């Protein structure tokens, strides 16, 4: 075997070993993650009431089906200051492991949810929006680029800004949050709160 082929063989083996170690580490983190979480659901809308809020209702349905508890569900107006006040109120209660907002993530002038959320984040999770848009592209094609869905961490609380459509909510919750949310909560360093009444 030539020196260059020998080196390539060893590089490939080293890459395999690193990948196996990373995969093992992820599985270990998932085992240590809390299985039941507490979430708050904020629907951003100028027009809907709780009774008309099918998107927020779907989040509640999907999260409770996984055994998670919904601490509160609220309607918030499409206004930066009101969205930020609602987020700060949930954070101050220290009850939720994660806050799930729905609505206001498009490109219309009243779609201000990402603009309200971003300045409050200590750390952004750009991979969430990237992965969501990739999955959406598989489902709806190029209109996926119109979504400004995003996520990040405020203190040690995870915040996710989801679109308002039920199809998009189902994609985000079932294909990203259900598999990864507990793992993310453990990584964010928040003591999980399922033991609270």
**Interacting residues of 33 by C-beta distance below 8 A, sequence separation 6+:** 182, 183, 185, 186
What's the token pair of residue 117?
Answer: 């959320």
Coil, strand or helix at 97: coil
Q: How many whole angstroms separate alpha carbon 143 and alpha carbon 139?
A: 10
How many whole angstroms separate alpha carbon 86 and alpha carbon 99? 10
- The reported pTM is 0.82
| Tens-digit pLDDT profile for residues 36-64 | 999 999 999 999 899 999 999 999 999 99
Would you state the structure tokens that stand for residue 132, as one six-digit string? 């969501």
CA distance linking residue 184 with residue 36, whole number of Å:
13
**pLDDT tens digit string along 76-131?**
999 999 999 999 999 999 999 999 999 999 999 999 999 999 999 999 999 999 99
């Amino acid at each position: 075997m030539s020196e260059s082929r020998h080196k390539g063989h060893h590089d490939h083996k080293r890459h395999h070993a690193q990948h196996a170690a990373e995969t093992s580490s992820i599985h270990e983190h998932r085992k240590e993650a809390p299985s039941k979480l507490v979430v708050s659901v904020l629907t951003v809308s100028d027009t809907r009431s709780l009774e008309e809020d099918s998107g927020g209702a779907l989040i509640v349905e999907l999260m409770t089906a996984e055994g998670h508890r919904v601490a509160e569900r609220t309607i918030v107006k499409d206004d930066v200051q009101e969205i930020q006040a609602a987020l700060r109120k949930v954070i101050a209660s220290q009850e939720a492991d994660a806050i799930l907002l729905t609505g206001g993530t498009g490109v219309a002038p009243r779609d201000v949810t990402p603009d309200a959320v971003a300045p409050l984040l200590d750390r952004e999770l750009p991979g969430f929006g990237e992965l969501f848009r990739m999955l959406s592209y598989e489902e709806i094609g190029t209109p996926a680029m119109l979504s400004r869905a995003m996520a990040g961490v405020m203190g040690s609380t995870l915040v996710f800004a989801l679109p308002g459509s039920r199809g998009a909510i189902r994609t985000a919750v079932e294909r990203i949050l259900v598999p990864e949310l507990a793992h993310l909560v453990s990584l964010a360093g928040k003591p999980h709160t399922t033991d609270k009444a």
